[in-house]
Amino acid sequence: MAMSMLNGKEIFVTAGSTRAYIDAVRYLSNRSTGRLGSEIACECLRRGAYVTYFHGIGALTPFVLAHRGEVNLSDEALSRLDMIEIETIPQLVGSIERELKEGYYDAAIHAMAVLDFVPDLASVLPGKKKSDLEEWNLKLVRTPKVIDMIKRVSPQTTLVGFKLEVEISREQLIASATDLMKHSGAEIVVANDLTDIQKKAYKAVLIERAAEGHEALKTTEAAGRQETARVLCDRLEELLKAKHESTPED
């Protein structure tokens, strides 16, 4: 069997949910379990990569999946896994910036569900809000796009982004993913519809930048999280191989 192009590569994967506190005990979050990101991290490890895994609190991890017997990972593969738990968006931004500035990563796979809106700092209480009130009005403000910072900090890192929409057509899904690709600089975007996930019929479309001299985007279909992880790693191998072949030897 030929050696994987991911063998020995440095990859970071983000997965799971983020939190934004509204008082000392309550927070806003989302439904992400980190399952897809964990499956992708496992596939990277199986192919010989070194993986740094940024995960939200309570998110699934390769260790959890291996312990449950849901994935087959050797002790040697798990020894190449470094896990960093984060909770809030500022923690995530700080961790990614530090990792990218302190070491080179061949690829960044940003699957974490980062909150698009968080409470305005003036709305966050230092203590606990009284529970006998009839209503509680919160002002939410937009958060910075974490994916947009990755290429700015490390332009040479191959970037994979993710786009989740709800009840839209395939054409609209691809258009939304293409927009993400343009503003983030991602080489690949994995797009899916929450409606399929809720029906236990996970489907994904992988969108890649057009080859030089071609206008049409390349799209690849995948069904199920494990297949999505395999297809994504296949495509990532091809991109890294092409990048390696185009880099002049010293």
Q: Domain ranges for the chain, please list them.
A: 10-116+140-244
What is the C-alpha to C-alpha distance for residues 53 and 2, in angstroms, rounded to an integer? 26
Query: Closest Cα to residue 147, out of 104, 190, 196, 118?
Result: 190
Confidence of residue 8 (pLDDT cuts 50, 70, 90): very high
pTM to 2 decimal places: 0.93
Beta partners for residue 167, in sequence order: none
**Weakest mean pLDDT among 48-52, 85-89, 132-136, 207-211:** 207-211
Mean pLDDT, range 217-243, rounded to an integer: 93
Mean pLDDT, range 5-17, rounded to an integer: 97
Mean pLDDT of the chain: 92
Return the pLDDT at 248: 61
Return the pLDDT at 198: 82
What is the C-alpha to C-alpha distance for residues 59 and 65, in angstroms, rounded to an integer? 11
Query: Closest Cα to residue 211, out of 189, 237, 239?
Result: 239
Mean pLDDT, range 17-34, rounded to an integer: 94
Give domain 10-116+140-244's CATH architecture: 3-Layer(aba) Sandwich (3.40)
pLDDT digits (tens, 9 = 90+) for 58-101: 999 999 999 999 999 999 999 999 999 999 999 999 999 999 99
Confidence of residue 216 (pLDDT cuts 50, 70, 90): low
Structure tokens at 40: 């992708």
Return the pLDDT at 214: 47
Asked if the model's pLDDT at residue 153 lies above 90, the reply is yes
Return the pLDDT at 212: 58
Return the pLDDT at 213: 46
